[in-house]
Amino acid sequence: MPTVVAYRLVSLEQGLRAEVVHTVTDADTAIAVGSGDVPVLGTPRVIALCEGATVAAIAAHLDPDRTTVGMRVQLDHLAPTAVGSSVRVEAVLEELDGPRLTFKVTVNDDRGLVAVGRVTRVSVDRQRFLDKLR
């Protein structure tokens, strides 16, 4: 039975998941994002796609006054992906520890596994978080 956690107006449960499909463009390459000199999907874009999938997995389950922010990314980028290829990014909520949410993320293209790892996000009160900017 999945663990259900209610934490400061957030109701989430293990197993929530989302999949994001993205076609790699020139703007996604290591060259474009400044992380290398080859025209393949850059690691910073892989990370951003993984974070996007984690956000999508829980978006419908957050109180409107809450959001999540990135805390930790652990990712093995295992294979190159060419411009024009599609990647499928899946995020599954694996662990809830108070406000911390840990997701398993996988990235695949037509040739197989591209990246695998974990993304940890923290649930925060949206306005209090933004007030820290002042």
Q: What percent of the chain has pLDDT over 90?
A: 87
User: What structural domains does the chain harbor?
Assistant: 4-131 (3.10.129.10)
Cβ contact 85:110 at 8 Å:
yes
pLDDT digits (tens, 9 = 90+) for 12-27: 889 999 999 999 999 9
Q: Return the amino acid letter for 50.
A: C
- pTM given for the model: 0.91
Which stretches does DSSP call E strand in 25-134? Answer: 66-77, 86-97, 100-109, 112-125
